[in-house]
Amino acid sequence: MLGLIVARLKTTLPSIIGVIVVTFLLTRVLPGDTAAYFAGPAATPQAIAEIRSKLGLDQPLPVQFVAYVGALVKGDLGTSLTTGQAVTKDLAARLPASAELTLFGLLISMAIALPLGVLAAVRQGSWIDHLCRIVATAGVSLPVFFTGLLLVYVFYFILGWAPAPLGRLDAFATEPPRISGFLLIDSVIARDPETFRAALSQILLPALTLAIFSLAPITRMTRASMLAVLGADFVRTARASGLSSRTVIGTYAFRNAMLPVVTTLGMVFSFLLGANVLVEKVFAWPGVGSYAVEALIASDYAPIQGFVLTMAILYVILNLAIDILYGVIDPRVRLEG
Amino acid sequence: MNDMSKVEPPPLRFEAPPSTSLLAHARHIVSENPVTGLAFGLFALILFAAIFGPSIVPYDPLASNTNSALQGPSAAHWFGTDQLGRDIFSRVVAATRLDFTIAVASVALVFLLGGLAGVAAGFFGGWVDTIVGRVADTIMAFPLFVLAMGIVAALGNSVTNIVIATAIINFPLYARVARAEANVRREAGFVQAARLSGNSEWRLLLTQIVPNIMPIMAVQMSLTMGYAILNAAGLSFIGLGVRPPTPEWGIMVAEGASFIVSGEWWIAFFPGLALMTAVFCFNLLGDGVRDLVDPQRRN
Amino acid sequence: MTAKPLLDIKNLTVEFATRRGTVQAVKSIDIGVGKGETVAIVGESGSGKSVTSYAVVRILDRAGRVAEGSIGFSGIDLVGASEAQMRDLRGREISMIFQNPRAALNPIRKVGKQIEDVLLQHVQATRATARAKAIEALEKVRIARPEERYDAYPFELSGGMCQRIVIALALACQPQLLIADEPTTGLDVTTQKAVMDLIVELTRERGMSTILITHDLGLAAAYSDKVVVMEKGRVVETAAAAEIFCNPQHPYTRRLMQATPRVGMALRDLLPEAAAKPPAVPRILAAAGNAAAPLLRVENLVKEYPRPATGSLLAKLIGKAEPENPAFRAVDGISFEVRRGETLGLVGESGCGKSTTSMMVNRLLDPTSGRIVFDGQDIGAIPAKQFALTPLRRRIQMVFQDPTDSLNPRFTAERAILDPILRMGSLKGRDALRARCEELATLVGLPIELIDRFPHQLSGGQKARVGIARAIALEPDLVILDEPTAALDVSVQAVVLNLLEELKQRLRMSYIFVSHDLNVVRLLCDRVIVMRTGEIVEQGTAEEVLGAPQAEYTRELLTAIPHPPL
């Protein structure tokens, strides 16, 4: 197991290097005056020149790269013009909000998608199968920001069940002491059911939006791989040896069917981290996504670059976790590592 | 006219089945699967709106009229009006061209680049494979939409850059599919047989590998069309690429977003619906196209 | 024979709902299996033999159902039994083993656990005793070090070992009836013998009944008491094993019998009596009196594949790299000749290097070292990628193992056959090409009206003919036949083999015939090379090698072939 983790860590290294090189290139090599970008739209030529030498943009590229990596190692991603804070600090403050939203959305999605996909495969051709197919096709067609707005309209404006789509907590609730940064968890730790309820009612709609969005690929993959596995020879063997349907479907089919689903999770995370930006904008969620959008509008470049880099590194780490999870399920991979 | 003597004999008609049979096959597929028929119908509608949309809409999509601002759907304004009194129906129809063009352009671009790179990687292997794989891996290391944001932000805020960004983030998908398909066929019996028949490697690639990969790539294209539209609309939703007052579905939803909480749902709803329908149509088409081009199903 | 058979299939009809309406896969068949009896169900693909067994255990897929008839099993009506009742019977009273043993086991569960699952399900063990019982079951199928194997995953075991595990699984609960569905297809002939012997021994010692489903008449004859022959869903003949081979009654059985290559037959004997046989061409033994230089001479041919490095990158970086792994030698320094006009058989079990050798001779693969001299020229020195562009390419052609895989799905038969001519031939003009194609089609017995069809519109035998027509289109000197009939049913195989022999005579070609089937090799080849782990074990004339083998391994191969009684 340890061997597997070490082996996967090694394959992660080139990805990280690639990510750093690309983000560097995105800022330095592309057309346009980077210093002007960084200085912001209202900067004087003098200010731009100052920034240029401060950023080392008058240096040759390799030198710039070394400086860039050096700054990265120190956790220096520049300063946001909008907030006046170090980008690293801003991102760190906002990351838990995004993470909580994304993970909660994924949790809802899996809780629906896995049983739905399995049932659809087991009862192929039944109403649940048709439902599954509708979910899978309609789900990938829904623009995530559109779903979010529809939910707001229905559950906030018409039904009045949900609070206004304005952030993680309404104005009257007090934030629990920060431990994990996840309001749902922190409020439980603080034994504050009031805040927990407030936080839950705020997160429910955006999380649901993300869930609907990621439902389709997970359901589709679960159904397909479950179908494939149910048709496999070893399931036939299990059936022919009289194992109960619970053992056949649960122990034999499901675990095998999960392998492609776990692989799909990588793609789902890629979608989710992107969709997160849109959902945060719709629900005024104070996460890293809306931070990046605000920076985009203000042409504030350092936060955007920091955001892209952070997301990419986060994604690489998530993929690493998925790889390891895969190894836990599949002995073939585990024993190779 | 002495060229007449050197006229090439008509090309050998080995494979191309008469086009009528393709049509008949299409009809067969549509009749067998009405959903595919629906998708083809929707596609025709989208194509129509993309070509003729701006010239047939009832109102100027850019003309504001503050007297009739924020009106709900009515006989005069089918989809209602926005905060500047612009007719949403006209704007939604007129936007089709831009959204469609962005999707087609980016898919065509990535089909050429990703497809070629992937086929070369899969067929020749070696360093070509290594480089293509490394590029694809690096792109895949980013959450794709986030990378697209970064690219547009860096390249500058324009429609062309949206097309480029969308093409780039789709590159790994195309390259990988093409690579895998080319790679399994590289040692396939019929390719080996063609080697024995004296075909050069390049000829093999063009006559044996590529035609057999095209169906899969066609399905891939129609599936990613939907994704490309979603991606472009998402980018403009957060204010990248298309700028107001240009009619575009994503930006229109963004403009309508703030009115949702006060109940003026139609401003965001109709462009969102158009967007969804278009994506839905392309996703259904993906399956239809697969049925159409799959020679196994043609009888 | 007891009055009431253990398994009594009466008037059974199985239907499948397909897109083109209902198809009857099995049509009112009667089969009885007595206690302790082994019944073989023999038939070609599509005969309904597997469907019958699935109906017995009731594991037909969703589209299939028993339309009519009854299946009685020691007094229980299996057609009418509840699912719970069936589940109780499966594995405990009736067990099955399948072809492709590796796929028949759950890839991510320890094999011991899989046996335990069955034991626990049928209350043959408790949680406390399950492990010991599972190990005992492994011991019974002669698995060495069963305690270790208990923890193995299927991918860590060989095909033969996996089949033993499947057998252990099937016999763990001491069932009364074992259904073996092509249990040895895909296994090497020596492994096949070991597995079959094991099944027979275990079932006999338990007094079990067995149904052996197979396409291989020889196997059926060697291991069963009674043979049921099926064709297109019907039972055409049922008789004692000894009887059916000496005195087949039904014409289909006779045809099937006849098409099965056996010792002491000539190639032409495989063809049905009714068919007009090609005139017997006396086999010109190239060996005798042919003083001319051989067509092909292979000297010290070696093909090495690098092994994946085991030392980690990290270990290499800190200078603790392990000693270099010796490369894997697929072909290990072999030398042989092919004389003009002869057929050389290249035989051996999977992984012996025979296919690698043929690919190198064929110039699709570059050798690591050694010489391949074709008609005086060292063609081994020409890189495979460039060989296609040399004039020698047209003189060495090949017929592939899988006729479907070897045809481009987007080319018509005509385009496929003409491909070599278009690339390397001198023939020009639409009409001349068409005429040549028709000529070739006639030569290989492909009806001319079929040459405009796409591969998916042709049958397996027709596709094989297209592949042969393509190979001989430029009248090559040497044709490599890589298991050309492995994917075909025996009756089609018989025709194709005869066709190949006839073409060879007519076009004065030489063949290298790559095969694992010694019975076929015996019929077609003048000389034989037996390979094992990349080396030549024995070579000589077909009579010498197959009649009086010198090497131990050849003898082992020969005795492992199941022989129908003559």
| DSSP track, C227-238 | EEEEETTEEEEE
Residue B17 has pLDDT above 50, yes or no: no
Provide the pLDDT for residue B9. Answer: 38
Give percent above pLDDT 70 in chain C.
92
Distance from the A273 Cα atom to the nearest Cα atom in chain B, whole angstroms: 6
Q: Which of C364, C430, C470 sits opposite B12 (nearest CB)?
A: C430
Provide the pLDDT for residue A32. Answer: 57
Residue A28 has pLDDT above 80, yes or no: no
| Residue written as token pair 């072939």 | C561
Q: Which of B145, B153, B257 sits opposite A304 (nearest CB)?
A: B153
Determine the Cα–Cα distance for residues C530 and C352; give it in Å rounded to an integer: 9
**Of residues C99 and C89, more confidently modeled:** C89
Instruction: Give the pLDDT band of residue C2 (cuts 50, 70, 90).
Output: very low
- Chain-centroid distance, C-alpha A70: 27
Residues A282-297, mean pLDDT to the nearest whole number? 91
SS3 content of chain B, % helix, strand, coil (to 5): 75, 0, 25
Residue C11 belongs to what H/E stretch?
strand C7-18
pLDDT digits (tens, 9 = 90+) for A290-321: 999 988 888 788 888 899 999 999 999 999 99
**Of residues A66 and C318, more confidently modeled:** A66
Which of B28, B33, B197, B205 to mutate: most C Cβ within 10 Å? Answer: B197
Provide the pLDDT for residue A235. Answer: 93
Residue A3 has pLDDT above 80, yes or no: no
Q: What are phi and psi of A236, to 5 degrees?
A: -60, -45
B244, burial (CB in 10 Å: exposed 0-12, middle 13-18, buried 19+): middle
Provide the pLDDT for residue C267. Answer: 80
List subunits contacting chain A, requiring 3 or more Cβ pairs under 8 Å. Answer: B, C
Distance from the B146 Cα atom to the nearest Cα atom in chain A, whole angstroms: 5
Specify the range with the lowest mean pLDDT, choosing from B250-264, C142-156, C251-265.
C251-265
Instruction: Give the pLDDT band of residue A336 (cuts 50, 70, 90).
Output: low
Provide the pLDDT for residue C413. Answer: 93
A112 interface with C at CB cutoff 8 Å = no
Q: Which of C401, C408, C471 sits opposite B208 (nearest CB)?
A: C408
A244 interface with C at CB cutoff 8 Å = yes
Determine the Cα–Cα distance for residues C228 and C237; give it in Å rounded to an integer: 6
Edge-first strand order for the sheet with C296-305 is C328-338, C296-305, C369-374, C377-378
Identify whether the C-beta of residue C413 lies closer than 8 Å to the C-beta of residue C458.
yes
Q: In sequence order, which residues have a C-beta less than 8 Å from that of residue B206 and are 6 or more positions away?
A: none
Residue of C nearest to A237 (CA): C104
Residue C282 has pLDDT above 60, yes or no: no
Provide the pLDDT for residue A34. Answer: 66
A124 interface with C at CB cutoff 8 Å = yes
Q: Do A237 and C96 touch (CB under 8 A)?
A: yes
Q: Do C401 and B189 touch (CB under 8 A)?
A: yes
**Of residues A134 and A287, more confidently modeled:** A287
Provide the pLDDT for residue C218. Answer: 83
Identify whether the C-beta of residue C67 lies closer than 8 Å to the C-beta of residue C14.
yes
Q: In sequence order, which residues have a C-beta less than 8 Å from that of residue B14 and are 6 or more positions away?
A: C411, C412, C414, C415
Nearest in space to C546 (alpha carbons), one of C566, C523, C515: C523
Provide the pLDDT for residue C242. Answer: 83
A251 interface with C at CB cutoff 8 Å = yes
Task: Report the sign of the C-alpha dihedral through residues C480, C486, C492, C494, in that order.
Answer: positive
Provide the pLDDT for residue C325. Answer: 59
pLDDT digits (tens, 9 = 90+) for A154-176: 999 889 888 888 888 887 778 88
Rg (CA), chain A: 23
Residues A261-286, mean pLDDT to the nearest whole number? 92
B→C interface, C-beta within 8 Å? 9-10, 12, 14-15, 188-190, 192-201, 203, 208, 211-212, 295-296, 299
Residues C228-254, mean pLDDT to the nearest whole number? 88
Residues C430-436, mean pLDDT to the nearest whole number? 93
Residue A198 has pLDDT above 50, yes or no: yes
Instruction: Give the pLDDT band of residue B57 (cuts 50, 70, 90).
Output: confident
Provide the pLDDT for residue B18. Answer: 40
SS3 content of chain A, % helix, strand, coil (to 5): 75, 0, 25
In the 8-state DSSP scheme, what is residue B296?
A: G
Instruction: Give the pLDDT band of residue A30 (cuts 50, 70, 90).
Output: low
Q: Which residues of A99-131 are buried (b: 16+ CB within 10 A; e: fewer)?
A: bbbbebbbebbbebbbebbbbbbbeeeeebbee
Residue B259 belongs to what H/E stretch?
helix B249-260
Instruction: Give the pLDDT band of residue B40 (cuts 50, 70, 90).
Output: confident
Residue C539 belongs to what H/E stretch?
strand C535-541
Q: Which of C409, C423, C456 sits opposite B197 (nearest CB)?
A: C423
* CATH fold of the domain at A87-336: MetI-like fold (1.10.3720)
Distance from the A334 Cα atom to the nearest Cα atom in chain C, whole angstroms: 11
Provide the pLDDT for residue C321. Answer: 45
C466 interface with A at CB cutoff 8 Å = no
Q: Is B185 helix (H, G, I), strand (E, B) or coil?
A: helix
In this structure, what is the dihedral angle of CA atoms B64, B66, B68, B73, given to the nearest 10 degrees?
60
Nearest in space to C480 (alpha carbons), one of C297, C346, C291: C346
The residue ranges of every structural domain in chain A are 87-336
Provide the pLDDT for residue B75. Answer: 78
Provide the pLDDT for residue A135. Answer: 81
Provide the pLDDT for residue C213. Answer: 94
Distance from the A186 Cα atom to the nearest Cα atom in chain B, whole angstroms: 28
Residues A122-130, mean pLDDT to the nearest whole number? 84
Residue C134 has pLDDT above 70, yes or no: yes
Specify the range with the lowest mean pLDDT, choosing from A247-256, B77-86, C136-145, C232-241.
B77-86
Identify whether the C-beta of residue A79 lies closer than 8 Å to the C-beta of residue A306.
no
Q: In sequence order, which residues have a C-beta less than 8 Å from that of residue B121 and are 6 or more positions away?
A: B128, B129, B131, B132, B133, B175, B178, B179, B182
Write down the CATH superfamily of domain B27-297: MetI-like (1.10.3720.10)
Residues C362-383, mean pLDDT to the nearest whole number? 92
Residues A275-300, mean pLDDT to the nearest whole number? 90
Q: What is the average pLDDT value for chain B, to the nearest integer?
A: 82
Nearest in space to A303 (alpha carbons), one of A316, A313, A293, A314: A293
Residue B12 has pLDDT above 50, yes or no: no
Instruction: Give the pLDDT band of residue B1 (cuts 50, 70, 90).
Output: very low
Provide the pLDDT for residue A273. Answer: 92
Residue C528 has pLDDT above 70, yes or no: yes
Q: Is C26 helix (H, G, I), strand (E, B) or coil?
A: strand
Residue A218 has pLDDT above 70, yes or no: yes
Residues A21-44, mean pLDDT to the nearest whole number? 72
Q: Do B239 and A32 touch (CB under 8 A)?
A: no
Identify whether the C-beta of residue A207 lies closer than 8 Å to the C-beta of residue A104.
yes
Alpha helix ranges (H) inside C101-214: 111-121, 127-140, 146-150, 159-171, 189-206
Provide the pLDDT for residue C3. Answer: 59
Residues B115-119, mean pLDDT to the nearest whole number? 93
Residue A195 has pLDDT above 50, yes or no: yes
Contacts 24+ apart (CB under 8 A), C69-72: C69/C9, C69/C10, C69/C11, C69/C12, C69/C13, C69/C28, C69/C29, C70/C8, C70/C9, C70/C10, C70/C11, C70/C12, C71/C7, C71/C8, C71/C9, C71/C10, C71/C12, C72/C7, C72/C8, C72/C9, C72/C10
Specify the range with the lowest mean pLDDT, choosing from A72-81, C198-207, C352-361.
A72-81
Residues B260-279, mean pLDDT to the nearest whole number? 89
Task: Report the sign of the C-alpha dihedral through residues B207, B209, B215, B220, in that order.
Answer: negative
Which pTM value belongs to this model? Answer: 0.83
Give percent above pLDDT 70 in chain B.
86
Q: Do C90 and A244 touch (CB under 8 A)?
A: no
Residues C183-196, mean pLDDT to the nearest whole number? 86
Provide the pLDDT for residue A178. Answer: 85
Determine the Cα–Cα distance for residues B81 and B69; give it in Å rounded to an integer: 6
pLDDT digits (tens, 9 = 90+) for B164-208: 999 999 999 999 999 999 998 888 889 999 998 888 888 889 889
Specify the range with the lowest mean pLDDT, choosing from B149-163, B257-271, C157-171, C257-271.
C257-271
Return the bridge partners of C299, or none. Answer: C371
Residue C65 belongs to what H/E stretch?
strand C64-73
Residue C262 has pLDDT above 90, yes or no: no
Determine the Cα–Cα distance for residues C46 and C50; give it in Å rounded to an integer: 9
Mark residue A143 as left, alpha or beta (left: phi above 0; alpha: psi -120 to 50; beta: remaining): beta
Contacts 24+ apart (CB under 8 A), C15-21: C15/C64, C15/C65, C15/C67, C16/C63, C16/C64, C17/C63, C17/C64, C17/C65, C18/C63
Domain C284-307+327-559 has CATH 3.40.50.300: yes
Specify the range with the lowest mean pLDDT, choosing from C8-22, C28-42, C196-210.
C8-22
* CATH fold of the domain at C1-82+179-258: Rossmann fold (3.40.50)
| Assigned token pair, C11 | 């008037």
Determine the Cα–Cα distance for residues C151 and C138; give it in Å rounded to an integer: 12
- Residue type at A217 in one-letter notation: P
Instruction: Give the pLDDT band of residue A14 (cuts 50, 70, 90).
Output: confident
**Of residues C44 and A149, more confidently modeled:** A149
pLDDT digits (tens, 9 = 90+) for C93-108: 999 998 888 889 999 9
Q: Do C400 and B192 touch (CB under 8 A)?
A: yes
In this structure, what is the dihedral angle of CA atoms B98, B104, B107, B109, given to the nearest 10 degrees?
-90
Q: Kindly write down the DSSP assignment for every residue of A141-181, as one continuous string.
A: HS-HHHHHHHHIIIIIIIS--SPPS-SSS-TTS-PPPPSSS
